[in-house]
Amino acid sequence: MALTEFDLIHQFFSDMGASDHVLLGVGDDAAIIDTTDGWVLHVSTDTLTEGVHFLPDCAAPDIAYRAVMTAASDLAAMGAAPRAMVLAISLPEPDTTWLEAFCTGLRDASADARLPLVGGDTTRGPLVITVTVMGETPAGQCLLRSGAAPGDRLCVSGTLGDAAAGLSLLQGELVASDPANAAFLTARFLRPTARIGLGESLRMSATAAIDISDGLIADSTHLARKSGVALHIDHRQLPRSTAFCAVVEPSQQLHYLLSGGDDYELLFTLPQSTALPEGCTEIGRVMAGSGVSCDGMPTGKGYDHFGHR
């Protein structure tokens, strides 16, 4: 390898670390982050492995962007203000062209998610990317999976099923006649958006929240269990994009909406009297009891077999 590890880190990973909260970034034994008085630190990590979480032919900028956003989405779900991230990367052979491309996606995601890159680790091995994110909320104002109460409105941001439809397009399981629809849906899979701003704005109002990474039913089930409530979903309210409706047959839509993962939208509950934030949809109701039902049908089994994981 022409590049030493030091050169590689210096060349590619050392110039995305500036922010008011970063006192020391890449280059020492640890980064130093300035914390806010009265706020608490949130830390979360996510790993993407080639062949498991992304296809081997996935473009390098998309791999980087997705790695950051999937990790950032957990901060959004907590209502946290993003502060910094670290990147542990295992690389087969340091390929400058690939690393440059990877860093364009990394830089975009770092800016979009407001997460300066303050450190990490670089090793040789199969392509594996681990992003650890740090954020802060005022103490006592974190959004948890617990806290939903009977009577609350069940709400979701954005539209559902797009990323799963995008993945099916990439895998040739779906076909789009309009390339603009294909582009929209595949971008929803390859370039998810962590709902950071929405999460921060929900801190004072939502009673519970989770990000939808594994599909609506799977993630609502986590929220229901942690809150000790039942969630009733009305399938007619589930928000769908125009592209989704054009590409996915009506008979297949519910499957994608309920079981398709990777949307990274927020699922949250609001007290009855609280207004719905812009871009969000009420999809059901919190009730006393347990489990998740859709149109009165329990969803415990049968909806979690979406075959792409």
**Does 100 help bind ligand ADP (rule: CB under 6 A)?**
no
Q: Is 57 in the site for ligand ADP (CB under 6 A)?
A: no
Phi, psi of 179 (to 5 degrees): -60, -25
- Applying CB under 5 A, does 5 fall inside the site for Mg ion? no
Q: One-letter amino acid identity for 213? A: S
* Adjacency order of strands within the sheet including 208-212: 208-212, 265-270, 153-157, 280-287, 230-233, 291-294, 297-298
Sort 143 into a burial class: Cβ within 10 Å, 0-12 / 13-18 / 19+: buried
> What are phi and psi for residue 103, nearest 5 degrees?
-70, -25
The SS3 call for residue 269 is strand
Contacted by 215, from ligand ADP, Mg ion, none: CB < 5 to 8 Å by type: none
* CA atoms of 271 and 230, how far apart (whole Å): 15
Q: Rank residues 100 and 121 by Cβ distance to Mg ion and give the closer one.
A: 121
Using rule CB under 6 A, residue 99 touches ligand ADP:
no
Position of minimal CB gap to Mg ion? 121
Instruction: Establish if 102 lies at the interface with ligand ADP (CB under 6 A).
Output: no
How far apart (Å, rounded) are the C-alpha atoms in residues 122 and 6? 9
DSSP letter at 112 equals H
What residues are paired with 22 via a beta bridge? 33
Partner interacting with residue 27 (select from ligand ADP, Mg ion, none; CB below 5-8 Å by kind): ligand ADP
Residue pair 31/110 in contact (Cβ under 8 Å)? The answer is no
Sole binder of ligand ADP in the list 2, 20, 28, 305 (CB under 6 A): 28
The residue with tokens 């802060």 is 136
Q: Using the rule CB under 5 A, is 178 a contact of Mg ion?
A: no
Q: Which is nearer to ligand ADP, 5 or 34 (CB)?
A: 5
Q: Interacting stretch for Mg ion, rule CB under 5 A, among 5-13, 42-50, 120-128, 298-306?
A: 120-128
Residue/partner pairs of 301-305 with CB below 8 Å, 24 or more apart: 303/215, 303/217, 303/255, 303/258, 303/259, 304/215, 304/217, 304/218, 304/259, 305/259
The minimum distance between CB 246 and Mg ion, in angstroms, equals 48
Q: Write down the least CB distance from residue 190 to ligand ADP, Å.
A: 21
Identity of the residue, 103 or 209, whose beta carbon is nearer to ligand ADP in the bound complex: 103
Out of 89, 103, 113, 267, the residue judged to bind ligand ADP by CB under 6 A = 89
Beta bridge pairs of residue 138: 39
Of the candidate residues 7, 15, 34, 121, the single one contacting Mg ion (CB under 5 A) = 121
**Contact between 209 and 91 (Cβ < 8 Å):** no
Listed ranges 119-127, 139-147, 150-158, 282-290: which one lies at the site for ligand ADP (CB under 6 A): 119-127
Contact with ligand ADP (CB under 6 A): which of 120, 135, 166, 261?
A: 120
Q: Is residue 75 within 8 Å of 128, Cβ to Cβ?
A: no
Measured from the CB atom, the residue of 31 and 142 that comes closer to ligand ADP is: 31
CB of 243 to ligand ADP, least distance (A): 35
Positions that interact with Mg ion (CB under 5 A): 121
Residues that bind ligand ADP (CB under 6 A): 9, 13, 26-29, 87, 89, 117, 119-122
